[in-house]
A = this chain, B = another copy of it.
Amino acid sequence: MSEHSARPAARGRAYQLVVDHVEAQILDGRIKVGDRLPGERELALRLEVSRAAVREGIRSLEAQGVVRSGVGSGPDAGTVVSALPSAALTRFLRLHVALANFPIPDVVEARVMLERSSARLAAGHGDQERLGPVAEALAAMDDPTLDQATFNALDTTFHIAIAEAGGNRLVSDITIAIRDAFRRPILEGLGLLGDRWPQAATRLRAEHHAIYAALVDGDETTAADLMEEHVRGAAQWLPG
């Protein structure tokens, strides 16, 4: 491999041809959710790679949730294109945020944008039933004996429930992923509060209740403004 200095890992990348081929066909609309991919042999011939490379490429697509393998039975058991679940996006965005090392202020601005939008959408529905999970998280956080980790988990649930109540799955998928990616730094930040934690918890509870009241009132602008204030306020405690 040492002679391929421009593409040092070229020999190991045959499976990438398979991944790229399938993805390009999906993006071009030539294959859709539910369609069966060609068999291993056919793909190997078509792309001039080994069958092992085809298997690796398929595995990789499978790990990303793009295809499901082993559908049907027999030697040509099919591989079918699957609708990526929201969980796949959440997982990927979480990893991306964890690895990409975005500056904290950038992430805060992105959260403000997303959570304003989620709050606005959730208030716009003015639907008590949809807000049920929001109310539940709110009530659970009122328990004064909660430790920080449990409080933080419920806080995440509260924000996710608002995003979901908004009813726009693309916005909520992205909002949830970014909120979730920050579960750990937020928890670290809370840990650094030390003695100031009970006071901070009181403030967070009050802010959550005010946001919920605006959602129930169907007051989109107030809900969005309170959410923005809340996200910016909590960001001050983030480490680093």
Task: Please encode chain A, from 56 to 92, with 1 for each CB lying within 8 Å of some chain B CB and 0 for all others.
Answer: 1101100110101110000000000111101011011
Query: With a CB–CB cut-off of 8 A, which chain B residues contact A27?
Result: 94-95, 98, 181, 184
CA A9 – CA B169 in complex, angstroms? 29
Interface of A is mostly: helix
Query: With a CB–CB cut-off of 8 A, which chain B residues contact A114?
Result: 113
The count of identical subunits is: 2
Give min CB distance, A165 to chain B, whole Å.
14
Question: Would you call A93 an interface residue if the criterion is a C-beta within 8 Å of the partner chain's C-beta atoms?
Answer: yes
Size of the chain A interface, CB-CB below 8 angstroms: 59
CA A98 – CA B160 in complex, angstroms? 24
Question: Would you call A109 an interface residue if the criterion is a C-beta within 8 Å of the partner chain's C-beta atoms?
Answer: yes
Give min CB distance, A135 to chain B, whole Å.
24
Contact of A91 with B59 in the complex, beta carbons under 8 Å: no
Closest residue of B by beta carbon distance from A60: B63
Query: With a CB–CB cut-off of 8 A, which chain B residues contact A1?
Result: 70
Closest residue of B by beta carbon distance from A28: B184
- Specify which of A1, A27, A107, A117 lies most central, judged by the most chain B CB atoms within 10 Å of its CB: A27
Query: With a CB–CB cut-off of 8 A, which chain B residues contact A66?
Result: 95, 99
Closest residue of B by beta carbon distance from A113: B117
Question: Would you call A106 an interface residue if the criterion is a C-beta within 8 Å of the partner chain's C-beta atoms?
Answer: yes
A interface residues with partner B (beta carbon < 8 Å):
1, 8-9, 12, 15-16, 19, 23, 26-29, 33, 56-57, 59-60, 63-64, 66, 68-70, 81-84, 86, 88-89, 91-102, 106-107, 109-110, 113-114, 117, 121, 168-171, 173-174, 178, 181, 184
10 A-B contact pairs sorted by A residue (CB < 8 Å): A1-B70, A33-B101, A59-B59, A64-B92, A83-B101, A86-B100, A89-B92, A106-B170, A107-B170, A113-B113
